[in-house]
Amino acid sequence: MLFLCTGNSARSQIAEALTERLGGGVVKAHSAGSHPKSLHPNAVRVLKARGIDISRARSKHLDEFADEKFDYVITLCDRVREVCPEFPDHPGLIHWSIPDPAREPGEHRQTYPAFARIADELATRIGFLLELIEHAGS
């Protein structure tokens, strides 16, 4: 599974980590961005509060995965959806329009609640997706 957003600094990093956790080690997840930026400190903090450490994660450009095969590619914003390349073996394409918490105005302390809301929303969506995938495979 590959999660894509613009900066790979928050949404897709959070989605990757949550998928790995919620998938119980059965699902392999990756993330990337069309214009990678540094990992946002609040993405690290919000996952740390959930017992997940992404402090050593790095932002990656989607070109790093252009030749890899995925079962699903999930775009998390409209901008990356427009530039999403074709991946080998035509994976399932899913689009979730998720607001970028890194674009919230204010300092890190003030924007943390937006990151927590996005993490909650992604956890819910990923939980439903994993359940659908499991039922489709049975």
- Tell me what the mean pLDDT of segment 66-88 comes to: 91
- Tell me what the mean pLDDT of segment 65-78 comes to: 94
The catalytic site residues sit at 5, 77, 84
Which residue spans within the chain are E strands per DSSP?
2-5, 30-33, 72-75, 92-95
Looking at the domain assignment, is residue 84 inside a domain? yes
pLDDT at position 136: 80
For residue 122, the enclosing domain spans 2-128
Whether 37 contacts 7, CB under 8 Å: yes
Rounded CA gap, 66 and 55, in Å? 25
Backbone angles phi, psi at 115, to 5 degrees: -65, -40
Looking at the domain assignment, is residue 12 inside a domain? yes
Number of domains in the chain: 1
Looking at the domain assignment, is residue 122 inside a domain? yes
- Report the CATH number at residue 117: 3.40.50.2300
Q: What tens digit of pLDDT does each residue of 85-136 get?
A: 889 999 999 999 999 999 999 888 899 999 999 999 999 999 999 999 888 8
- Residue 101's identity, in one-letter code, is P
Single pTM value for the model: 0.94
Looking at the domain assignment, is residue 62 inside a domain? yes
Whether 6 contacts 31, CB under 8 Å: no
